[in-house]
Amino acid sequence: MDCKKKKYKPLEELTIRDNFMFVKVFSDEAIAKPFLKALLKIEIERVSVVGEAHQQADPNKKYIRFDVLVKEECNGIGRTFDLEMQMVDTKELPLRARYYQGISDTETMGNTHKYKELKEQYIIFLCPTDIFGQERPIYEFENREKNDPSLTLGDLTYKYFCNFSRYGAVTDESVRDYLKYFATDEASSAATKAISDKVDFYHKDPKTRSDYMTFKDMLEDEREEGREEGREEGRAEACKELAKGFRDAGISLEVIAKQTGLTPEEIKAL
């Protein structure tokens, strides 16, 4: 049975919580940099921002897509920040953060293999739910020595998980305003008003409308590719089951191989 085609929101109904709009808005340095400075409490130099950055650890593997990748331009030795709007708890976000870190490190090092080339790195997930269940709005992680937590590993990697539904528990006003906007679309500061204005602009922008149509087509292509991969896997499993049944029925390996495309060795191993 064919899967029903996914329905997408009209462009005018997209909020900052929708991936397409989040990438559009936070690809603007004037939006991304103030947010990072407020959340991380650090000074940030000039940055370059790439929306939906694609990176690949292995030429034989698929690219992964970062929502918003911010790179600090500081004589080539700047920090990197990965911003992800994650509306669904997929139960593996900490592992995904680990994978994203590894991919980014591989891209940073290139072919030099000099560990000193690795940059200070922040991976930030913005979520509507508390994936750790500790009823906190923000979780900050870095690697520390188990028996002496005051001793940090010093690997320059930091992971943040922001549960914006609990924005009211945030004591820092600027961060609270950001998380409140992510949760409610209510702009209560100049910074969040700037985000809201961007969202309103993109709702009406003809080029954005064209980009959104392309975005939807791309997602449909990826979904169809995934369905086709699933069908191929299903066909392969069906062939194996058929071959096993033939083999158990005493049919010769040569006949089974001809009917299923499996080799005699593969059939014996079933």
Please report, as a single letter, which amino acid is at residue 19: N
Could you tell me where the DSSP H helices lie in the chain? Answer: 19-26, 29-40, 93-109, 173-184, 190-204, 206-248, 253-260, 264-269
**Total tally of structural domains belonging to the chain:** 2
CA distance 114 to 36: 28
Tell me the pLDDT tens digit for each residue of 238-255.
667 667 766 776 777 876
Average pLDDT of the chain?
A: 85
Burial class of residue 81, CB neighbours in 10 A (0-12, 13-18, 19+): buried
> Within a domain: residue 211?
no
Residues 114 and 80 in one domain: yes
The confidence score (pLDDT) of residue 246 equals 64
> Within a domain: residue 134?
yes
Query: For the whole model, what pTM was predicted?
Result: 0.77
Domain, as residue range, for 241: 220-269
The confidence score (pLDDT) of residue 216 equals 87
Residues 141 and 33 in one domain: yes
Q: Which two tokens stand for residue 209?
A: 């409308």
Is the distance from CB of 142 to CB of 179 less than 8 angstroms? no
Q: What is the mean pLDDT of residues 134-141?
A: 97
Residues 200 and 225 in one domain: no
Q: What is the mean pLDDT of residues 31-46?
A: 94
Residues 126 and 193 in one domain: yes
Residues 18 and 140 in one domain: yes
> Within a domain: residue 229?
yes
What is the side-by-side strand order in the sheet with 157-163?
Answer: 47-55, 64-72, 80-85, 121-127, 157-163, 138-141
Is the distance from CB of 201 to CB of 21 less than 8 angstroms? no
Residues 89 and 160 in one domain: yes
Residues 148 and 187 in one domain: yes
Residues 55 and 144 in one domain: yes
Q: Could you tell me the pLDDT band of residue 125, with boundaries at 50, 70 and 90?
A: very high
Last residue of a domain, one of 153, 169, 204: 204
Tell me the pLDDT tens digit for each residue of 75-93.
556 899 999 999 989 899 9
Residues 175 and 228 in one domain: no
Q: Where are the beta strands (DSSP E) in 99-212?
A: 121-127, 138-141, 157-163
Tell me the pLDDT tens digit for each residue of 181-197.
999 999 999 999 999 99
Is the distance from CB of 143 to CB of 98 less than 8 angstroms? no
CA distance 169 to 171: 6
Tell me the pLDDT tens digit for each residue of 95-112.
999 999 988 888 777 676
- Report whether pLDDT(25) > 90: yes
